[in-house]
Amino acid sequence: MALTMNTSAAPAASQREKTDLRAMTIATILFFMWGFLTSLNDVIIPHLKSIFELNYTEAILVQFAFFSSYFIFALPAGKLVEKIGYKRAMVAGLVIMASGALLFLPASSITVFGLFLGALVILAAGMTVLQVAANPYVVNLGPEKTASARLNFSQAFNSLGTTLAPHFGGVLILGGATLTVAKLHLLSAPAQAIYRTQQASSVRMPYLGLGIALLVLAVVLGLVKMPSMQTNEHTQDFRPGAFDPDKDSIWSHKWLLLGALGIFVYVGAEVSIGSFLINYFGLASIGALPEQAAANFVSYYWGGAMVGRFLGSYILRSVRAGFALGIAATIAGLLVATSMLSAGHVAMWTIVAVGLFNSIMFPTIFSLGIADLGPLTSQGSSLMVAAIVGGALIPLLQGAIADRIGLQHAFFIPILCYLYIAFFGFASGNRPAATSVPIPEQV
């Protein structure tokens, strides 16, 4: 028998069975913002690569700094959520994100690569807090049976942010005239320093605007009344041996651990592809595109994810989440392999099409991983978010391989990632149905 454990009266059944649309709207705006800022890294990477004359391994340190923060701060973020609640944690995350965005101003003035990396660490730390709070919050804002669909819907707006950011960054950050390395070396040392400062300054206004927008969102979120999902409120299965609060641990939940590995390789694959697309489309054998034009194609990659998530939020209402995940990962792997083995437009459009099939992966893996965790949901969410460190390590590996065998051949790394995701998706078809999920309380 399942009972609801609350410190206050349980919400009415109708409240439990309906999604709170106001809370979903606000949470979805937060998904948009962190998607926008994450995708903007795909523009920052080639920009800083050009300014500081970096190789692929050095340039991808942008993603290493950004996604390492998820690993470093995920568990503390989970503790923060447990202490102050989901809403306050989301407000705190927004303020930290704003601080990181505003640090781009001094970094661009001093023109030191390490300062840009430091700003990204702080920005991603805030994003980590936001994700640890917002993902399970959305999962539990409505009926359990539509959790994957609901999270896919919010992630669709996350993808809207990732779609718009490359075009936005291409115009405002990559729009200025740039010198080739050969021409840059013809300049005197002082002239080179002036040039680098001028190029770096193009990030100031975009990140200033984003920092202000994040602070405004923090204020609005702090003032709006939203449903509270306390971390000690949950529906619990009281059958003998089903749950022991003194002995239960996230490390004993097999599907959580498998899901965390799925998040690790998924984010690694998605970030690896997105991070190198501008340079990939600039290769003579692929597209020979200038950086600003290539940035528009990066928007198509993320736009595919947006379209796929809107479709996925509908499809997953009638198709088993694990089966859909397995099919999507299989097709994504085949598309990457096709791009590796071809050239020109075929190579370009097959790699762009991967975005469509990436679409449902993160929210589906996440919801499958934290299902049935009960009071361990916030800790499980922390582990899943910590696994986003795959976005730091896997692109770094691909960058190191690209420096040795070429960028196109290095795309075998994402293929290996998609193979595991396909395994996880199809294997989850034999998983027992979840017996308990957190229930939000209307306040």
Look at 217 and 13; give whichever has higher pLDDT.
217
Q: What is the pLDDT of residue 10?
A: 32
Mean pLDDT throughout 72-78?
A: 84
pLDDT of 261-275, one tens digit each?
A: 999 999 999 999 999
Look at 31 and 353; give whichever has higher pLDDT.
353
Q: What region, left, alpha or beta, does residue 344 occupy, with left being phi > 0 and alpha being psi -120 to 50 degrees?
A: left
Q: What is the pLDDT of residue 126?
A: 94
CA 97 – CA 210 distance, rounded (Å):
9
The residue behind tokens 């290095």 is 410
Mean pLDDT throughout 372-400?
A: 86
Per the CB < 8 A criterion, the answer to whether 11 and 134 are in contact is no
Q: Per-residue confidence at 441, pLDDT binned at 50, 70, 90?
A: very low
Q: What is the pLDDT of residue 436?
A: 40
CA angle centred on 10, ends 4 and 11, rounded to 5°: 120
Residues 6+ apart with CB under 8 A from 142: 17, 18, 19, 20, 24, 150
Domains of the chain: which residue ranges? 17-232+251-430
pLDDT of 222-232, one tens digit each?
A: 887 776 665 44
Q: What is the pLDDT of residue 52?
A: 85
Segment among 5-19, 104-118, 254-268 with least mean pLDDT: 5-19
Look at 69 and 103; give whichever has higher pLDDT.
103
Mean pLDDT throughout 414-429?
A: 94
Q: For a pLDDT cut of 90, what percent of the chain falls above it? A: 40
Candidates 1.20.1250.20, 3.40.50.300, 1.10.10.10, 3.60.20.10; CATH matching 17-232+251-430? 1.20.1250.20
Q: In Å, what is the CA distance from 372 to each residue of 70, 318, 434?
A: 23, 20, 5
Q: Is the pLDDT of residue 347 over 80?
A: yes
Q: What is the pLDDT of residue 180?
A: 58
Token representation of residue 202: 């193009």
Q: Is the pLDDT of residue 203 over 80?
A: yes
CA 354 – CA 342 distance, rounded (Å):
15
Q: What is the pLDDT of residue 323?
A: 93
Mean pLDDT throughout 201-221?
A: 91
Q: What is the pLDDT of residue 244?
A: 46
Q: What is the pLDDT of residue 195?
A: 72
Q: Is the pLDDT of residue 109 over 70?
A: yes
Residue whose C-alpha is closest to residue 315's, from 193, 152, 424, 205: 152
pLDDT of 153-165, one tens digit each?
A: 777 787 788 889 9
pLDDT of 352-365, one tens digit each?
A: 999 999 988 988 99
Residue whose C-alpha is closest to residue 126's, from 75, 73, 165: 73
Q: What is the pLDDT of residue 140?
A: 73
Look at 272 and 171; give whichever has higher pLDDT.
272
Q: What is the pLDDT of residue 124?
A: 92
CA 62 – CA 43 distance, rounded (Å):
11
Segment among 240-244, 365-369, 393-397 with least mean pLDDT: 240-244
Look at 16 and 201; give whichever has higher pLDDT.
201
CA 252 – CA 183 distance, rounded (Å):
59
Per the CB < 8 A criterion, the answer to whether 154 and 102 are in contact is no
Mean pLDDT throughout 38-60?
A: 89
Token representation of residue 409: 């051949």
Q: What is the pLDDT of residue 306?
A: 82
CA 251 – CA 125 distance, rounded (Å):
24
Q: What is the pLDDT of residue 237?
A: 33
* Residue-averaged pLDDT of the chain: 82
Residues 6+ apart with CB under 8 A from 69: 120, 121, 122, 123, 124, 125, 127, 128
Q: What is the pLDDT of residue 433?
A: 55
pLDDT of 285-339, one tens digit each?
A: 999 998 888 988 889 998 888 888 778 878 888 888 899 999 999 999 999 999 9
Q: What is the 3-state secondary structure (H, E, C) of 124-158?
A: HHHHHHHHHHHHHHHHCCCCHHHHHHHHHHHHHHH
pLDDT of 17-26, one tens digit each?
A: 676 777 788 8
